[in-house]
């Protein structure tokens, strides 16, 4: 295996071999060649196989074939190498909403053997600066529409010296530079273990961690969950909400559709109204979004029931059984839940429609192994709550970060989730390990109380946390948003409390309930429980 990286930053900052997880490559589809550039596999291959005229990306007023995307990506790769001085191994910042140009830039970076560092479009200069400093970034490709924050970050980061904007009509813009360059580009001959993406975790607290993923990792995630669970075909039309800077979005909206020659609809804004409109306008067949988005879309079930939609993927947060039922009753469609993590790149426990078990995430995805362990890392008996441990072809490699030894223990990735496994091998989510509520000595998982509350017709959304309490250590405190037209009062508090007591073990009921108009969430759709803890 010979690395193409003349800039050895990524390799120099990998965790020591003994701190990396154990990797599994047992499946025949996980046999990778020593030299591998994932852009050749996901993009150029389709043109070589005669499928260049198939649609690859669609967006409002835009339709690119695979050949179109290759043309753009090759031109941008030439701009990167010849105008901007990018060499293999350099990190390139990508900052844009989900769009066709964002995807072209991503492939250009990969083709050049550089490392794509995609960032959420809502990041402010201060947050961009921490990404730029941590990944030591000198080059950036950004949407002109986000130029203000990027320029302000660039002023504070001396190292960032070349920034090109797309959607900038001026002579210095990326589009003008692309026109001056050839549409041919010979991809860098990267090693399968050359890093090609650095993904920042969307952690709800603390300093963001940078995870490093190789060309082979990108191909490995395409060979595992989509191939064995989602089973997409070339005629599928993907649509969804997660940003491409979130690996849930990168996989679900770019890598997986392209791995089978399908197409993807990219929406710059992807709230429930835009998703609904997009599904209808583009004839989408696969929807990729988070549980809250399914709850918000459910009232439009009739429109969706008669649409082209056939598969619905939920990840990022636990899918409450009540949401699964709501969606099935509204649309006639069973959901595909899956737990993934930035550290493992994508989904490793999931179940297809036929194997879905309400309240469970699913079974381990072929290619991965998972177990529930105790504090010492020993497997616990079936039905016992413990820490989720996973290993497979992908795994955690933090860039120069002491937290590596917390995430990887004895070769297993510890995701920070409390789970139990049943006798059939279904994994049942409890809570984040640090979110378990301990009240009067009882362990209570907030999501279980949330599940119960969601079954009540007045509840639109809810979040349950442990609030400090002198007598009991912690008490169960629920934040509830009500369905349109309803008002919260003491009578409703009492009604919800009684409802929970009648649904699950009474000691788990929320002793305190606050009605709120909305719940705090990250840009990846995750509940920010720490913000609620501060409130409580
Ligand atoms: C939680 C889930 C229960 C869980 C992600 C799909 O979410 C992704 O990555 P992040 O690094 O967060 C990882 C953590 O999120 N989680 C995600 N999915 C589920 N909990 N059920 C689920 N279905 O705490 C996990 O440890 O932001 C998801 C694909 C790629 C991803 N990066």
- Indicate the top mutation candidate among 315, 415, 530 to test ligand 1's pocket, ranked by most ligand atoms within 8 A of CB: 315
Taken in order 75, 78, 82, 88, the sign of the CA dihedral is: positive
Residue nearest to atom 10 of ligand 1 (CA): 341
Between CA 431 and CA 438, with CA 437 as vertex, the angle to 5 degrees is 140
CB 372 within 8 A of CB 419: yes
435 C-alpha to ligand 1 centroid (Å): 15
Least confident window among 319-328, 433-442, 444-453: 433-442
Q: pLDDT tens digit string along 125-143?
A: 999 999 999 999 999 999 9
417 C-alpha to ligand 1 centroid (Å): 9
Q: Average pLDDT, stretch 490-513?
A: 95
pLDDT band at residue 442 under the 50/70/90 scheme:
confident
Residue nearest to atom 8 of ligand 1 (CA): 341
Strand order in the sheet with 286-289: 62-65, 55-59, 263-265, 237-240, 286-289, 311-314, 335-340, 347-350, 363-364
pLDDT higher than 70, residue 208 = yes
CB 489 within 8 A of CB 357: no
Given this model, what pLDDT does residue 207 score?
75
pLDDT band at residue 52 under the 50/70/90 scheme:
very high
Residue 326 three-state SS: helix
211 C-alpha to ligand 1 centroid (Å): 14
pLDDT higher than 70, residue 326 = yes
Given this model, what pLDDT does residue 394 score?
98
CB 347 within 8 A of CB 225: yes
Given this model, what pLDDT does residue 206 score?
65
Q: Which residue has the tokens 């909403």?
A: 97
Residue nearest to atom 3 of ligand 1 (CA): 318
Given this model, what pLDDT does residue 324 score?
97
Given this model, what pLDDT does residue 109 score?
99
- Indicate the top mutation candidate among 316, 361, 388, 414 to test ligand 1's pocket, ranked by most ligand atoms within 8 A of CB: 316
Percent of the chain with pLDDT over 90: 92
Given this model, what pLDDT does residue 535 score?
84
CB atoms within 10 A of CB 314: 24
pLDDT higher than 80, residue 203 = no
* CA atoms of 255 and 70, how far apart (whole Å): 14
For residue 202, which atom of ligand 1 is closest to its CA? 27
pLDDT higher than 80, residue 333 = yes
Average model confidence (pLDDT) across the chain: 96
- Indicate the top mutation candidate among 213, 341, 419, 436 to test ligand 1's pocket, ranked by most ligand atoms within 8 A of CB: 341
Residue nearest to atom 26 of ligand 1 (CA): 415
Q: pLDDT tens digit string along 156-190?
A: 998 998 999 999 989 999 999 999 999 999 999 99
For residue 432, which atom of ligand 1 is closest to its CA? 24
Q: What pTM was estimated for this model as a whole? A: 0.95
pLDDT band at residue 205 under the 50/70/90 scheme:
low
Contacts for 359 with CB less than 8 Å, ≥ 6 apart: 320, 321, 428, 451
Ligand 1 pocket list (CB less than 6 A): 201-202, 247-248, 315-319, 337-342, 346-347, 361, 415-417, 429, 432, 524
Three-state SS string over 146-197 comes to HHHHHHHHHHHCCCCCEEEEECCCCCCCHHHHHHHCCCCCCCCCCECCCEEE
Given this model, what pLDDT does residue 152 score?
96
Residue nearest to atom 27 of ligand 1 (CA): 202
Name the pairing type of β-strands 437-439 and 442-444.
antiparallel
Going from the C-alpha of 419 to that of each of 319, 381, 430, the distances in angstroms are 14, 12, 5
Ordered domains of the chain (ranges, CATH): 33-223 (3.40.50.12780), 271-350+357-433 (3.40.50.12780), 436-535 (3.30.300.30)
* CA atoms of 110 and 107, how far apart (whole Å): 5
Q: 3-state SS of the chain: helix, strand, coil percent to 5?
A: 35, 25, 40
Residue nearest to atom 7 of ligand 1 (CA): 316
348 C-alpha to ligand 1 centroid (Å): 10
User: Helix count (H) and strand count (E) of the chain?
Assistant: 20, 25
131 C-alpha to ligand 1 centroid (Å): 21
Phi, psi dihedral angles at 109 (to 5 degrees): -60, -45
524 C-alpha to ligand 1 centroid (Å): 10
Percent of the chain with pLDDT over 70: 99
pLDDT band at residue 204 under the 50/70/90 scheme:
low
Given this model, what pLDDT does residue 534 score?
87
* CA atoms of 150 and 487, how far apart (whole Å): 43
248 C-alpha to ligand 1 centroid (Å): 8
Given this model, what pLDDT does residue 1 score?
80
DSSP of 199-238: EE---SSSS--EEEEEHHHHHHHHHTHIIIII---TT-EE
Q: pLDDT tens digit string along 346-361?
A: 999 999 999 999 999 9
380 C-alpha to ligand 1 centroid (Å): 22
């Amino acid at each position: 295996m010979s690395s193409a990286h003349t800039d050895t930053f990524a390799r120099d900052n990998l965790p020591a071999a003994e701190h990396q997880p154990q990797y599994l490559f047992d499946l025949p589809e996980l046999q990778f060649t020593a030299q591998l550039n994932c852009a050749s596999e996901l993009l150029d291959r389709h043109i070589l196989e005669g499928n260049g005229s198939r649609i690859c990306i669609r967006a409002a007023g835009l339709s690119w074939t695979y050949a179109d995307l290759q043309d753009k990506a090759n031109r941008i790769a030439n701009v990167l190498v010849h105008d901007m001085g990018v060499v293999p191994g350099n990190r390139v910042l990508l900052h844009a909403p989900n769009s066709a140009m964002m995807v072209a830039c991503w492939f250009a970076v990969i083709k050049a053997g550089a490392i794509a560092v995609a960032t959420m479009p809502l990041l402010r200069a201060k947050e961009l600066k921490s990404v730029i400093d941590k990944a030591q970034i000198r080059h950036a490709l950004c949407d002109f529409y986000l130029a203000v924050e990027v320029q302000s970050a660039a002023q504070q980061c001396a190292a960032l010296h070349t920034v090109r904007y797309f959607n900038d009509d001026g002579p210095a813009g990326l589009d003008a530079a692309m026109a001056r360059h050839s549409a041919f580009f010979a991809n860098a001959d990267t090693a399968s273990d050359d890093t090609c993406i650095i993904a920042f975790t969307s952690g709800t607290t603390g300093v963001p961690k940078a995870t490093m993923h190789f060309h082979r990792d990108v191909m490995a995630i395409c060979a595992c969950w989509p191939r064995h669970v989602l089973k997409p075909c070339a005629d599928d039309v993907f649509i969804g909400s997660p940003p491409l800077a979130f690996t849930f979005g990168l996989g679900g909206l770019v890598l997986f559709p392209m791995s089978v020659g399908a197409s993807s609809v990219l929406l710059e804004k992807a709230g429930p109204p835009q998703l609904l409109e997009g599904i209808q306008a583009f004839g989408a067949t696969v929807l990729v979004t988070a549980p809250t988005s399914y709850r918000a879309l459910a009232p439009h079930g009739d429109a969706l029931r008669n649409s082209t939609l056939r598969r619905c993927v939920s990840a990022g947060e636990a899918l409450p059984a009540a949401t699964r039922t709501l969606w099935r009753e509204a649309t006639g469609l069973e959901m595909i839940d899956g737990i993934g993590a930035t550290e493992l790149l994508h989904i490793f426990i999931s179940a297809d429609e036929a194997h879905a078990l309400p309240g469970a995430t699913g079974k381990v995805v072929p290619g991965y192994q998972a177990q529930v362990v105790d504090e010492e890392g020993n497997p616990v008996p079936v039905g016992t709550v413990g820490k989720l441990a996973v290993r497979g072809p992908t795994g955690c490699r933090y860039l120069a970060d002491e937290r590596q030894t917390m995430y990887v223990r004895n070769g297993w990735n510890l995701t920070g989730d409390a789970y139990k496994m049943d006798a059939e091998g279904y994994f049942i989510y409890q809570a984040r390990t640090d979110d378990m509520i301990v009240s009067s000595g009882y362990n209570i998982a907030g999501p279980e109380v949330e599940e119960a509350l969601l079954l009540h017709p007045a509840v639109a959304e809810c979040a349950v946390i442990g609030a400090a309490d002198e007598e009991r250590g912690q008490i169960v405190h629920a934040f509830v948003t009500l369905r349109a037209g309803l008002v919260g009062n003491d009578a409703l508090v009492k009604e919800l409390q009684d409802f929970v007591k009648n649904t699950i073990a009474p000691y788990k009921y929320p002793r305190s309930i606050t009605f709120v108009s909305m719940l705090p969430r990250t840009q990846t759709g995750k509940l920010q429980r720490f913000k609620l803890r501060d409130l409580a």
